[in-house]
Amino acid sequence: MSTTKTTSIEVIRGDITKVHVDAIVNAANTSLLGGGGVDGAIHRAAGPVLLEECRTIRNRQGGCAVGDAVLTSAGNLPARFVIHAVGPVWNGGNSCESELLARTYLKSLEIANDNGLRSIAFPNISTGTYQFPKARAVDIVLSTVTEFLRESRRISRIVFVCLDEENYQLYRKRIPM
Residue 126 binds ligand ADP (CB under 6 A): yes
Of 5-13, 14-22, 76-84, 103-111: span binding ligand ADP (CB under 6 A): 14-22
> Looking only at residues 35 through 54 of this chain, which bind ligand ADP when binding is defined by CB under 6 A?
37-39, 41
DSSP states of the chain: -------EEEEEES-GGG--SSEEEEEE-TT-S--SHHHHHHHHHH-HHHHHHHHHHHHHH-S--TT-EEEEE-TTSSSSEEEEEEPPPP-SS-SSHHHHHHHHHHHHHHHHHHTT--EEEE--TTSSTT---HHHHHHHHHHHHHHHHHH-----EEEEEE-SHHHHHHHHHHS--
Catalytic residue among 22, 39, 139, 164: 39
Out of 34, 67, 75, 123, the only residue in the binding site for ligand ADP (CB under 6 A) is 123
Question: Which residue in the set 163, 169, 174, 175 belongs to the binding site for ligand ADP (CB under 6 A)?
Answer: 163
Tell which residue, 129, 31, 114, 100, has the closest CA to residue 71.
114
Question: 71 vs 159, which CB is nearer to ligand ADP?
Answer: 159
Residue 17 touches ligand ADP, criterion: CB under 6 A? yes
For the bound state, the minimum distance from the C-beta of residue 18 to ligand ADP, rounded and expressed in Å, comes to 8
69 binds ligand ADP (CB under 6 A): no
Q: 114 an active-site residue? A: no
Interface residues toward ligand ADP, by CB under 6 A: 15-17, 27, 37-39, 41, 87, 123-130, 161, 163-164, 167
Enzyme catalytic residues: 39
